[in-house]
Structures are given as C-alpha cells and as structure tokens.
Amino acid sequence: MPQLFKKIYTLAVKIYRNTEDAVIGNALHISTDSRERCNARLLFDYLFFHLLLLIPVSLIGLYTHNTTELLLIVAFLISLGGCLIMVRNGVPVKTVSVIAAFVTFIMPAICSFFNNQDLSLRYAMVWVLSILFCYITTNIAATLALGGLLCSYLSLVAWMKVHNITTYVMPGFTPEQSFIFTPVLAGFYIIFLIRVLGAHYRNIFISEHERTLQKQKQHSSLLSQHLTKQFIILKGLSRSGKSKYLDGNRELLEACLIEIEKQCESAIDYLDNGPHPES
C-alpha cells in the first residue's frame, strides 16, 4: 500500500512539473527578475489548484443534481483554462493575474446569487483568496477595484434581503446540503491556501537566498581582482625599491616606500569598507 501511494504521489508531482514547464517555462527562462518569476509561479499554482478544486465542487453539483451550478462550473473551467493558455502564449503575468483574480471572484459571485444570495463560508473564502491573490501579484488599484466589486455585491444582496426580493434559485440545493458540504469545501480551500501561498513565500525565500549568494560571489570576485592588482603593484614597487637601494638612490627608495605604504592602506581600506563608488 505505501508503494502505491508513493507511485501516485510521484505521478502527481510529475504531472504538476510538466504542466508548469509547459505553461510558464518560457516566462521563467526569459525573466531575470526574481519577483516576476515568483509571481509567475504563484499565478500558475493559483490557476492549477483552482482547477483541481473544481473537481469536488463538480461532484457536489452532480450529487445534488444542480444543473445550473454545473453549467457555471464548466464556464469557470473554461475561464481558468483560458488564463493558462494566455500565460503560455506570452501574455504578461500581471495582466493574466488581474483576469484570474476577477474571474475567480465573479464566477463564485454568480453561483452565490443564484443560490439564494448565499454569503456563507463556501463563497466568502473564494472572494478573500481572489482579493489576496490580486494584491500580491498586481497592484493596489486592481485590488481596490476588486474589493469595491465585492462591497457592491454585498450591498446588493443586503438591499434584496431587506426588501424581500426573490430571484431564481438553483434547484436541488437545499440549506441543509449547504451546511453539510461547507466544512468539506472549507477544508479544501484551507489546503489550497497553505499550498499556494506557502509555496509562493518559500519561492521568495529561495530567490532571496540565491540573490544573496550571487552578490557574495560578485563581491568576492571584485575583492580578489582588486587585491591581486594591489599585490602586483606592491611587487613591482618592492623590486623597484630594491633596485634603487642597491644604486644608492635614497630619494627614489623613499618614494617607493611611501607608495608601498599607500597601496597597503588602500588594500586595508578596501577590505574594511568595500569598493568605493568611483571604483
């Protein structure tokens, strides 16, 4: 049994890696900005695992014979798949991130509206995730627009409830079923949150560590080059000073010794303070 789980896990990881390479491989190879690369990975994870989340949601729709919700899930599936295709075709990550954030907000909002304006955890978690994702990957303007859209929808629902306005309600989905399936879906979204955002911040830490190592290598290389240059100068001055000493030219010998002292002070200063702006 453990071997079977290990094979399934290996296969799942292989599918994930191959899909990631096919979708954002070019974007990762082209971009040299570590933040842009992390955002590309976050966008892929957000879309990929959202597609996986549609599996249990679809099964619930099939169980409750909820045709309307199943049609909306198909539209959701096509929208998320379209976002993956856009990334693969070279559309900027920020542009696709805005589209993905609004899609993952609007589609659940439509489901909520037709499910008697349900504002339970089942939909609230998706909205919070979409706003959080938008804030991380895009900018404050898009995030505020998405937040304003959420507030507008909540205001509309409040107005409808106050005035007892009834609309079309999806058949086959009762409040009792909502209570039963909400904990299950909440568990899936918690796993989604841990996996997607956890992996994103892990990628940031890895990128920052790699950048620090690269800077250390560059500094060590510059230090080595500078000190090598200093030692070559010192070697030449020492030979010149020896020659002037043998010739009895004390003035030039003193000048060589002064220059040797300057070069030593320069090397010590470089070791203590690093390269100067003009160097």
Summarize pLDDT for 203-258 with one digit per residue, the tens: 777 777 777 777 777 767 776 776 676 666 666 656 665 565 555 555 665 666 67
Residue with tokens 């404050």: 140
Question: Which of 97, 194, 193 lies closest to 146 in space, CA to CA?
Answer: 97
Report how far residue 70's alpha carbon sits from residue 87's, in angstroms, rounded to the nearest whole number: 26
Alpha-helix runs per DSSP H in the chain: 2-30, 34-63, 67-88, 93-114, 121-137, 140-162, 175-247, 250-273
Summarize pLDDT for 75-107 with one digit per residue, the tens: 999 999 999 999 999 899 999 999 999 999 999
Count CB-CB contacts under 10 A for residue 83.
25
Listed in sequence order, the residues at least 6 apart from 225 whose beta carbon sits closer than 8 Å to its beta carbon are none
pLDDT of residue 235: 61
Q: Tell me, what amino acid is at 20?
A: E
Listed in sequence order, the residues at least 6 apart from 250 whose beta carbon sits closer than 8 Å to its beta carbon are 244
Residue with tokens 């609004």: 102
pLDDT of residue 248: 59
Cα-flanking dihedrals φ and ψ of residue 116, to 5°? Answer: 60, 40
Count CB-CB contacts under 10 A for residue 71.
12
Report how far residue 80's alpha carbon sits from residue 83's, in angstroms, rounded to the nearest whole number: 5
pTM: 0.75
Summarize pLDDT for 12-54 with one digit per residue, the tens: 888 888 988 889 888 777 777 778 888 888 999 999 999 998 8
